[in-house]
Amino acid sequence: MGRDSETTVEGTAGRTKADSPEGSTVLPSVEDLDRRNSAGDAAYLPFGRPNFSDEEIEAVARVMRTGWIGMGPETIAFEKELSRFLGAPHVVTVSSCTWALFLSLLVHGIGPDDEVICPSLTWFSTANAALYLGARPVFCDIDPHTLSVTPETIKEKLTDRTRAVVVVHMGGYAVDVDEIRGILPDGVAIVEDAAHALGSRFADGRPVGSSGNLTCFSFYANKNLSTGEGGAIALHDGELAGRLCSLRQHGLAADAWRRYSNPRCALVPGLKELGYKMNFTDLQACIGRVQLRRQGEFARIRKEIARLYHDALDGRGVTFQKGCLDDGHSRHLFTVLLPLEGLVKSRDEFVLELRRRKIGAAIHYSPLHRMPHYERLCSTSLPNTEFVSQRIITLPISASMGIEDARRVLEEFTEILEASRSVTGRAGTGTISAPGYVKSDGSPGKVTKPVFIVGCGRSGTTFLFNIMKKHPRLRATTGYPDGEDHTGWIKHGGCIISGLGHAHIEKGHTGYHYCLYMDEKDVTPRVVESMHRYYHEDVLGGDGSKRVLNKCPHLSNKLRYVRAIFPDAKFIHIIRDCLPVVSSWIKIMETQPHLVLYLPDDEYPCHWVLPAPPDGERETVLRRHGRIFPGGGVERLVDYWSIVNRNIPLQLLDTPGQLLTVRYEDLCADTAETLRRICRFCEIPSFDEIPEEISIDVTLNNNEKYKTHLTEEQITAFLKRSEVTRSIFGYV
């Protein structure tokens, strides 16, 4: 880095290449970047944008003119330069950080039945690297200040099957890996996920990458050093480095460049082990070499922006990552935690509003342990991770930003923040400061942590409800509170369609059959008071030691509404595979010709069963309303299944700890274990034993029955139509 690392941002304005010392890079000031950005369309500001100069472009052109663009001399040179930068004797470049993690675990001998501890607050690759090898990721909690793992959170998850720990240097904060090594048994490897941490330093000043652990870096488009795609592994062990070089190139002892440039390597040797196609290229490496020389420039810009953010937001209630202004922090991300307790907006609404204003805020991350794919593998509660993930926002920061960009971010952020401050008890905002009601004796009453079972109709909500209502700590109810005056908080006209439901309307039945569109804006102090009173007095009988259990599929698109009334509510999303659900609906509607199924086409829909229109109007009504089954086509049922199940977790993205997804098939196959998982989530004791009267009738719950109602052509078409959602929930 030499003199470049000592040049100040302010001191570079107006310099030309001729003015700069030989071999150095001209460093633009932040003001220069402001002028550069104003020359083009800078309307939308992404959270991380690479900074490429003419020097990178010239390097690419130079390599292309040589005719050798695969892995060759540029890659070798980049690895040597990166080795010096990181203080690691060996660096092996690969095609991505994902594959760097995979290969690192592979050479440590990780395989089936092994456990790999990693944080849940990370990108998918951290956990997937273990899954690719047949191992099981075990998620551990984090320190809410550093957003990173600690020796204590790792120690809680150690078992006799633990074979490795993946330490993520979150956002660029360098975790003390030596301290973690001190609590690990012999034979447990540490792999460092340093995708955010190029340029980070440990507390003693050593660069991240120099520890001796296999340390994995990312050169993705938004990283501090970008080559578009790519990654690298830094390590001390020369023998392991040689094996990694072989594994990245099919398992060959010599790569394509050596076979091309060295006659002795011209013949392809036999393979000694299965390898992969995960190599770097010279096109990437030539960009990386320039980017590496510019790291001093990039670091100064990032620190200046971080300082501006910190100073402007300090004292406004947001929380910063520990050490975000320290010299050892790479500032790949600049994250803040929102003070949600005092805001009327959720974190997701905050992010969407910033994006609407063309500020590319991001979320790092949604916790992996709450995602259906991983939840089936590792059901656990991680309170710090869940707290952080509900509040975290990443503000734009990159070496391509200027001061005016950062000021624009601050202007929009603070405006939204101040406008979102809650007004206690304001009707219709979804922010009731103290949920509950006043009892007849003047004392306060409230319901805590009620449990709601939701899901697509015919997915097993009633089945699970009938099991859970046998629990001695739960008191069951269904639907909405009986006898409540719904005026003012139900949009009655939402699903009253011409030709449908007249009999109910004429009889004055305007209850929950017509509660299609309720959200948090419909929550008033009166609604909160009446629902807490009903649940506490009528359902629980005033017994605060019990929990309310509610089953109502019609609530599946109203989770934010329910949460505004009961902020600590627990939601159990039960999902059943698509084909048996669709088949069940077909059978019901065939045997109930006096009914029709209304499937509203909304962002968060739910189903409604309504009286069929009179015979003389039936065909006209069904043709006019394509969302009605029968009439709109059986594929509408497939879409309904997909949309409802995808949107249940989307409604709770900012509070994922309030949602548990349970597969109907798992409940049938292993009822006892699934119920233990549900009870842990509900924070109630497990069943002492499963009551005999709720033992599963295998015939009634056989998913294969759908074959009697669907043709082979329908099965093929419906599987394709629902493939994305089925994959999300582990059915593919």
Which of the residues are catalytic? 223
Amino acid (1-letter code) at residue 282: D
For residues 515 and 517, what is the distance between their CA atoms, to the nearest angstrom?
6
Please name every residue paired with 271 in a beta bridge, in sequence order, or none if there are none.
Answer: none
Closest CA to 91 of 289, 205, 245, 260: 245
For residues 208 and 233, what is the distance between their CA atoms, to the nearest angstrom?
12
Distances, alpha carbon 609 to alpha carbons 287, 595, 600, 624, 642, in Å: 61, 7, 11, 17, 18
Closest CA to 540 of 615, 481, 494: 481
| DSSP count for the chain of H helices, then E strands | 26, 20
> CA 218 from chain center: how many Å?
19
> CA 83 from chain center: how many Å?
33
User: Could you give phi then psi for residue 492, rounded to 5 degrees?
Assistant: -60, -35
Cβ atoms within 10 Å, residue 312:
16
For residues 152 and 117, what is the distance between their CA atoms, to the nearest angstrom?
12
Distances, alpha carbon 295 to alpha carbons 94, 299, 403, 538, 663, in Å: 20, 6, 19, 66, 48
Under a CB-based contact definition with an 8 Å cutoff, are residues 249 and 34 in contact?
no
Please name every residue paired with 550 in a beta bridge, in sequence order, or none if there are none.
Answer: 452, 477
For residues 532 and 566, what is the distance between their CA atoms, to the nearest angstrom?
8
Cβ neighbors of 327 (< 8 A, separation 6 or more) are 201
Q: DSSP states of 287-321 as a string?
A: HHHHHHHTHHHHHHHHHHHHHHHHHHHTTTT-EEP
Angle value at C-alpha 341, between 337 and 342, nearest 5 degrees: 100
Q: DSSP states of 347-409 as a string?
A: HHHHHHHHHHTTB--B-S---GGGSHHHHTT-----HHHHHHHTTEEEEP--TT--HHHHHHH
Tokens of 370: 């709450």
Cβ neighbors of 31 (< 8 A, separation 6 or more) are 13, 402, 403
User: Could you give phi then psi for residue 432, rounded to 5 degrees?
Assistant: -100, 120
Under a CB-based contact definition with an 8 Å cutoff, are residues 26 and 17 in contact?
yes
Amino acid (1-letter code) at residue 364: H
162 in helix, strand or coil? strand
Under a CB-based contact definition with an 8 Å cutoff, are residues 267 and 253 in contact?
no
Under a CB-based contact definition with an 8 Å cutoff, are residues 585 and 629 in contact?
yes
What is the greatest pairwise CA distance in the chain? 95
For residues 259 and 608, what is the distance between their CA atoms, to the nearest angstrom?
68
Closest CA to 140 of 128, 163, 122, 123: 122
Closest CA to 546 of 445, 681, 444, 447: 447
